[in-house]
Amino acid sequence: MPITSKTVACAVIGDPIHHSLSPDMHNAAFQHLDLDYVYLAFRVQKENLSETISGFKALNFCGFNVTIPHKEECIKYLDEVDETALKIGAVNCVVNEDGIFKGYNTDGMGALRAVTEGGFELDGKRIVILGAGGAARAIVFTFAKFAGKITVLNRTFQRAKRLVEDILKTVKIPIIAKKLIYEDLKAAILEAELLVNTTSVGMYPHTEETIVPQELLHEKLTVFDIVYNPPETRLLREAKSVGLRAIDGIEMLVYQGAEAFEKWTDKKAPIEIMKKTVLKSLKKE
Ligand code: NAP
């Protein structure tokens, strides 16, 4: 579909932004459904964030994604923020709702869909989360609605502690913060059914790194790694090699994107096209 005077614009903002796969993923989806939409990527520095958002409003963008480092900061420039995104403290998707810019967080829902479609039922399960950054916050807030117990282990203990304190204001299941050290990691994994890596460990170019020694991967464990470049991290490779169910970060990337796509277009997102496009773009890098 050619760009016309009626083309509807959306975008992603972040800094850096040139590695983002979102433009390829969303433009392929728009083309597949023959929608007159275009998705652009803009590198936006912190001092220009407010003006960028005002500019998108003036130009009547249908919405935009927000990525590192603006997910928290952008909140103060939006007209409204969805309750879950407010609790998480981060927005990754903004929707123009009749001129009102409303912020959402689709990372948690993307992760939830990735594990459930991957065949894992969260209800009452014990979950280990590695990391306590932005993605971890969204995932812990979402999974806590279903899980039986969550242990958050992070290299910087204070960050895990803060996450857990925030979430305990709204949920009643046991949620524990631990420093990421071998003994605590071992104890948490041994009693868990789901292990989620939300740290950037294992991400390109450090693809041979993993936090979890292979001997801790027991037969009752499902492993979900949200790193998507490479799609098969060392952690997932080792999980598969001992016969465990392994869910990759591409699934979450596509499902969080699909949530945004559906909010902007009111159409069902073409998941398979989005997934294929992302994998193809990763191969080109
Ligand atoms: P973030 O807020 O910067 O958090 C990074 C986390 O990784 C922190 O917990 C940090 O621990 C930990 N970490 C970094 N290096 C470490 C190391 N060497 N050893 C142990 N822990 C380490 O980043 P984020 O936004 O949460 O993103 C984290 C990862 O998830 C990135 O790889 C990102 O690409 C991926 N992600 C994927 C999706 C998806 O859709 N698949 C969505 C969002 C993010 P400290 O607190 O100690 O620094």
pLDDT at 140: 97
To which residue do tokens 């059914």 refer?
Answer: 193
Name 278's Cβ contacts closer than 8 Å, sequence gap at least 6.
Answer: 21, 24, 25, 228, 250, 253, 254
How wide is the angle at C-alpha 61 spanned by C-alphas 57 and 67, nearest 5°?
90
Which ligand 1 atom minimizes the distance to the CA of 110?
40
CA 56 to chain CA mean position, Å: 23
For 81-120, how does the pLDDT look when each residue is reduced to its tens digit (9 = 90+)?
999 999 999 999 999 999 999 999 999 999 999 999 999 9
The Å distance, Cα 5 to ligand 1 centre, comes to 40
Per the residue annotation, which of 6, 71, 145, 149 is the catalytic one? 71
The Å distance, Cα 197 to ligand 1 centre, comes to 9
Active site residue 71: yes
Tell me the torsion sign for CA atoms 235, 241, 246, 250: positive
Q: Ligand 1, from 20, 140, 198: best to mutate by most atoms within 8 Å of Cβ? A: 198
Which of the four pLDDT bands, split at 50, 70 and 90, describes residue 285?
confident
Average pLDDT score over the chain: 97
Please state the rounded mean pLDDT for residues 143-163. Answer: 97
Residue 1 has pLDDT above 90, yes or no: no
Q: What is the 3-state secondary structure (H, E, C) of the chain?
A: CCCCCCCEEEEEEECCCCCCCHHHHHHHHHHHCCCCEEEEEEECCHHHHHHHHHHHHHCCCCEEEECCCCCCHHHHHCCEECHHHHHHCCCCEEEEECCEEEEECCHHHHHHHHHHHCCCCCCCCEEEEECCCHHHHHHHHHHCCCCCEEEEEECCHHHHHHHHHHHCCCCCCCEEEEECCHHHHHHHHHCCCEEEECCCCCCCCCCCCCCCCHHHCCCCCEEEECCCCCCCCHHHHHHHHCCCEEECHHHHHHHHHHHHHHHHHCCCCCHHHHHHHHHHHHHHC
Cβ atoms of residues 264 and 22 within 8 Å? no
Which ligand 1 atom minimizes the distance to the CA of 251?
41
Whether the predicted model's global pTM rises above the 0.85 cut: yes
Which of the four pLDDT bands, split at 50, 70 and 90, describes residue 198?
very high
Which of the four pLDDT bands, split at 50, 70 and 90, describes residue 192?
very high
For 38-59, how does the pLDDT look when each residue is reduced to its tens digit (9 = 90+)?
999 999 999 999 999 999 999 9
The Å distance, Cα 133 to ligand 1 centre, comes to 6
Distance separating alpha carbons of residues 278 and 219, to the nearest angstrom:
31
Do the domains 8-104+251-284 and 108-247 sit in the same CATH topology, yes or no? Answer: yes
CATH number of 108-247: 3.40.50.720
CATH number of 8-104+251-284: 3.40.50.10860
Q: Ligand 1, from 70, 200, 233: best to mutate by most atoms within 8 Å of Cβ? A: 200
For 252-270, how does the pLDDT look when each residue is reduced to its tens digit (9 = 90+)?
999 999 999 999 999 999 9
pLDDT at 243: 97
Maximal C-alpha separation, the chain: 61
CA 23 to chain CA mean position, Å: 16
pLDDT at 284: 83
Which ligand 1 atom minimizes the distance to the CA of 249?
41
Which ligand 1 atom minimizes the distance to the CA of 68?
25
What's the half-sphere exposure (Cβ side, CA atoms, 13 Å) at 238? 17
Residues with CB under 6 A from ligand 1: 68, 107, 110, 131-136, 154-156, 159, 198-201, 203, 226-228, 249, 252-253, 256
Residue 247 has pLDDT above 80, yes or no: yes
Distance separating alpha carbons of residues 147 and 174, to the nearest angstrom:
9
pLDDT at 260: 98
pLDDT at 73: 96
Q: Which tokens go with 283?
A: 């191969």
Q: Ligand 1, from 199, 224, 234: best to mutate by most atoms within 8 Å of Cβ? A: 199
Please state the rounded mean pLDDT for residues 141-165. Answer: 97
The Å distance, Cα 267 to ligand 1 centre, comes to 31
The Å distance, Cα 72 to ligand 1 centre, comes to 15
Q: Which residue would you say has higher pLDDT here, 134 or 193?
A: 193
For 203-219, how does the pLDDT look when each residue is reduced to its tens digit (9 = 90+)?
999 999 999 999 999 99
Domain ranges for the chain, please list them: 8-104+251-284, 108-247
The Å distance, Cα 227 to ligand 1 centre, comes to 8
